Amino acid sequence: MVAATRFSVLVLNAVRRIPPGRVATYGDVAAVAGRPRAWRAVGNIMRECQQADVPCHRVVASGGGLGGYGDNPALKRALLRAEGVIVVGRRIRQWSLVRWVPAPSGRVRRNRTVAPAVSQEERRRA
DNA sequence: GATGTGACTTAGA
DNA sequence: ATCTAAGCCACAT
């Protein structure tokens, strides 16, 4: 079946696992893909992804940075914002809350209804 | 198989 | 806060 190397499939699959309203860093995606130190390659794959099946806009940089999105970083921000993620400038608000955490460990199913609940928190700065 | 590249990350100045 | 340097991985040529 054509292109799509192994790692790229794993990465795309990992990105697809990101639930709406949440985001993951390149490092997290790489970890789920099986290469926790391949954030660089993840970025490269994302650049080629450009597929509607993959919410590449949910993949952001570390520390809450938006990362990149081809020539439309603003579009990425808009998509995230449309899902309930508060984004201000190039930074994500409540980063620790929207950051998706894959499989914590053994039991413990932390499923806490995301609940972004914007509220006036975003009025902080715009 | 080597080289260059990048939607990255961390640390130091 | 901004910039530089180095480290890291997979992919394209």
The model's pTM is 0.79
- Domain assignment of residue A11, yes or no: yes
Distance from residue A113's CA to nucleotide C6's C1', rounded to whole Å: 41
Burial of A58 (0-12, 13-18, 19+ CB in 10 A): buried
Closest by alpha carbon to A86, among A55, A46, A124? A124
- Domain assignment of residue A114, yes or no: yes
Given this model, what pLDDT does residue A104 score? 58
CATH of the domain at A33: 1.10.10.10
Query: CA-CA distances (angstroms) from residue A79 to A66, A82, A83, A94?
Result: 11, 5, 7, 17
Given this model, what pLDDT does residue A102 score? 73
- Scan for tokens 């914002």, then name that residue: A81
- Domain assignment of residue A1, yes or no: no
Given this model, what pLDDT does residue A101 score? 81
Nucleotide showing the shortest C1' distance to residue A35 CA: C9
Total domains in chain A come to: 1
Residues of chain A whose pLDDT is less than 70? 1-4, 103-126
Write out the residue range of the structural domain in which residue A105 sits.
Answer: 6-124
pLDDT tens-digit readout, A22-51: 999 999 999 999 899 999 999 999 988 778
Given this model, what pLDDT does residue A60 score? 94
Question: What CA–CA distance (Å, rounded) separates A116 from A49?
Answer: 27
